Structure 1
């Protein structure tokens, strides 16, 4: 029995967005308890040349929202990238999960063989197969940005562990 494009993407992303939301909640709670301005964590970075936490979440949600929309042949909702608080970031994740719940398995039938082409700024990207787009682009980017968000908060003292990242 084979696994469908829907099964290996949408439910996985929904589950991990819920975990990501939990990671952010721990960051927000940490800031409240320690009386740290949220902006310090929301704008926290691992290195000076890396994006801050808020941008990691913006890119991670964009990758999934736009990617699944391309595979399903629907329009992705547009977001403004204006989040400045943990609450704003939670709302962005919630909206992304809401969008994912609107995608049906039937919309993604045949997407494994669908050619995908798009541009980001001046860069053009082409995938001959939707399965390659999902496994070589969307999934790795999502987990990179989720992991980086986790690491930003952890490096700032937020008590996080493997159970906050992986269902056990």
Structure 2
């Protein structure tokens, strides 16, 4: 929990500095994440204690140069390496992306159902409904859930819409028992 709070502070600071200098920090960190995720060797160098701080910084400097990262992003990552806090970089990146999406009016959520995939038209209808209800554009991912026998559960931030058969049966059972 403490690391999450620290990551949130770093993320807020990075976004504010990026705004001041008109740098898209979220985009830079997304590019960095993609590069790290594509290379196990780079991930090992960055996050394992097997490598010295100088080795980590040297490798990162090359990556930063190839990605044309801004000094704000580069110096932040170097600072995290120096302070032996590089392990919270993924949390910082996640917080930056969440905050950036929130500022842009985007929300992320999931649709859970029993089918292997969801009908794109139905998904678009759910997204449209949520946009009208919440005033922001949701980005929904579909997840197959074997605990949903029929219907769907939609979760966006702290909002949950449960249109599953299981939920409807439970509500029916409760209505009968309460009489």
Please indicate, yes or no, whether the TM-score normalized by the shorter chain is above 0.5.
Answer: no
Greater length-normalized contact order (CA 8 Å, ≥ 6 residues apart): 1
- Which of the pair is proportionally richer in strand? 2
Q: What TM-score, normalized to structure 1? A: 0.31
Find the structure with the greater CA-based Rg: 2
TM-score, with normalisation over the residues of structure 2?
A: 0.30
